[in-house]
Amino acid sequence: MSGVGPKGREGEIFPGQSPAPFTIDNQRVGVGLFDHVMTLVAYNYDGQIPYQAYNYGNYEGNEADLQAYLESGRGPYAQYQPVSILNYRYNSDVPNGAGPSDGPYYGPRTFSAFVLLLNPKARGLITLDENGNVRFPNIYMPDTPEGNADTDLMAQAVFDLIQLFEEDPGLSIAFGPGSPSHPTLNPNSLADVREYVTSPSPVDGVYYSRLIINHWGGTAVLSDGPGGVDPETLILRGTENVAVVDASLIPTIVPAHPVGTIMAVADRAGDILAARIG
Ligand SMILES: Cc1cc2nc3c(=O)[nH]c(=O)nc-3n(C[C@H](O)[C@H](O)[C@H](O)COP(=O)(O)OP(=O)(O)OC[C@H]3O[C@@H](n4cnc5c(N)ncnc54)[C@H](O)[C@@H]3O)c2cc1C
């Protein structure tokens, strides 16, 4: 909408419309969109050991864990390390299961195991409909001519998760392959697990795969050129006075929650722009 964009790709960015050509050509604006993508399997726990979801907000009680994280980046606060992360449902004292509390897959000892793809290969375009609204991007394990690397990796990871949890006789799948939600899929077959992760969500109101994570970025990246944003000045190439200071300048996906990185970008950008403004 700014008039800055990849000249020649107007038809892709405004599909079905007759857009005016971009006034300023920058081939790396509006392209390269990324996000994380997630799949879940929900479990029942029938074992003897009482379990309790880890309460990340209990800073006093978790003093030792916080300290371990600050000192060496270890423990439950090091998210996306090999730790178990369980969620509480808002306004409830039971751990989070799949779907609503009165749904078929929810029980007091149910929990969801999430597999989050932190470094997906898929990249997309920002495209706008006739009303100027951003259209849903095709970046969540898309079927592409280049291959299905994201889907392959997700299927393998969900398969491995299922195999790992199968070693615990107290755990049974409440929502996922082999459960009432997907009774014909065999949890011990990689092909069937692949079908699970690519099947359309939701089933019985449960969204379980190709989940958007809202960690977008990459649509006006720092680059040595041509196109993109000049790392020295943060000025969008093709313009003289448009600086980019947000997640869109991140050239490679952040393999974690991105807000810390974005705050660091903003802090550094403040220095760069203050020097420019004098
Ligand atoms: C539901 C949800 C949950 C998330 N959870 C997490 C999380 O747990 N951890 C994490 O790290 N990240 C999380 N994220 C991602 C994180 O919020 C974003 O990555 C981050 O906010 C992006 O920062 P930004 O500065 O690039 O853009 P934004 O935070 O989107 O800021 C853009 C700003 O520009 C303003 N703006 C837009 N157009 C104009 C205009 N024309 N003129 C003036 N102002 C304008 C907008 O109002 C907005 O304030 C989540 C995102 C969502 C949507």
- For residue 171, the model assigns a pLDDT of 92
Q: Is 258 in the pocket of ligand 1 (CB under 6 A)?
A: yes
Q: Greater confidence, 76 or 264?
A: 264
Tell me the CA distances in angstroms from 164 to 75, 153, 158, 187, one per residue in order.
Answer: 20, 16, 10, 12
- Over pLDDT 70: what percentage of the chain? 88
Residue 264 falls inside a structural domain: yes
Contacts of 147 (CB under 8 A, 6+ apart): none
Q: Which atom of ligand 1 is nearest to the CA of 259?
A: 11
pTM for this entry: 0.85
- For residue 94, the model assigns a pLDDT of 39
Q: Which atom of ligand 1 is nearest to the CA of 260?
A: 11
Residue 234 falls inside a structural domain: yes
Dihedral sign, Cα of residue 40, residue 32, residue 266, residue 1: negative
State in Å: Cα 240 to ligand 1 middle.
25
Residue 248 falls inside a structural domain: yes
- For residue 54, the model assigns a pLDDT of 60
State in Å: Cα 170 to ligand 1 middle.
41
User: Which residue in this structure is represented by tokens 């705050």?
Assistant: 263
Q: Which atom of ligand 1 is nearest to the CA of 246?
A: 26
| pLDDT at 118 exceeding the cut of 80 | yes
Mean pLDDT, residues 156-183 taken together? 93
Radius of gyration of the chain from its Cα atoms, rounded to whole angstroms: 22
For residue 276, what are the domain limits? Answer: 29-34+216-278
Tell me the CA distances in angstroms from 263 to 9, 213, 248, 259, 277, one per residue in order.
Answer: 32, 18, 13, 6, 21
Q: 35 and 218 in contact (C-beta within 8 Å)?
A: no
Residue 244 falls inside a structural domain: yes
- For residue 86, the model assigns a pLDDT of 42
Between 168-172, 178-182, 212-216, the lowest mean confidence (pLDDT) is in 168-172
Mean pLDDT, residues 247-252 taken together? 96
Q: Is 247 in the pocket of ligand 1 (CB under 6 A)?
A: yes
Residue 256 falls inside a structural domain: yes
Residue 101 falls inside a structural domain: no
How many independent structural domains does the chain possess? 1
- For residue 196, the model assigns a pLDDT of 98
- For residue 183, the model assigns a pLDDT of 97
State in Å: Cα 217 to ligand 1 middle.
10
Mutate which of 257, 261, 263, 265 for ligand 1 pocket (most atoms within 8 A of beta carbon): 257
Residue 107's pLDDT band (cuts 50, 70, 90): confident
Q: 177 and 186 in contact (C-beta within 8 Å)?
A: yes
| pLDDT at 114 exceeding the cut of 60 | yes
* Residue closest by Cα to atom 5 of ligand 1: 214
- For residue 263, the model assigns a pLDDT of 96
pLDDT tens-digit profile of 36-94? Answer: 999 999 988 888 776 655 666 678 999 999 999 899 988 888 765 334 444 434 444 43
d(CA 104, CA 87): 19
Residue 42 falls inside a structural domain: no
pLDDT tens-digit profile of 12-40? Answer: 999 999 999 999 999 999 999 999 999 99
Residue 96's pLDDT band (cuts 50, 70, 90): very low
- For residue 83, the model assigns a pLDDT of 43
Mean pLDDT of the chain, nearest integer: 88
Residue 166 falls inside a structural domain: no
